Amino acid sequence: MDATTWIEEFSAALGVDAPSEQERADVLSLASVAANASERMAAPICCWVAARAGRPAGEALAVARRLAMPGPAD
């Protein structure tokens, strides 16, 4: 089974709509930022935290990008 079909079936089994193409891209970018700014394990957990917080993937991605950027004191 390909990823798109699996995601659609998983979403249906949970009673929610499958993510749009943009939402999938945002989630993948969020996972990438989290993994590269920290450790690999941060990727799935940050995605889970964003979902638990009820935040859209794009909004969570913006937060992750802000956190990943070095600040003036860094």
| Spatial separation of the C-alpha atoms in residues 31 and 70, rounded to whole Å | 18
| Spatial separation of the C-alpha atoms in residues 25 and 57, rounded to whole Å | 9
Answer for the pair 19, 27: CB distance below 8 angstroms, yes or no: yes
Give the pTM: 0.85
Using pLDDT thresholds of 50, 70 and 90, give the confidence band for residue 72.
low
CB atoms within 10 A of CB 61: 23
| Spatial separation of the C-alpha atoms in residues 61 and 43, rounded to whole Å | 11
Q: Write the pLDDT tens digit of every residue in 10-69.
A: 999 999 999 999 999 999 999 999 999 999 999 999 999 999 999 999 999 999 999 998
Task: Give pLDDT, residue 70.
Answer: 73
- Break the chain into its structural domains and give their ranges: 19-67
| Spatial separation of the C-alpha atoms in residues 7 and 24, rounded to whole Å | 10
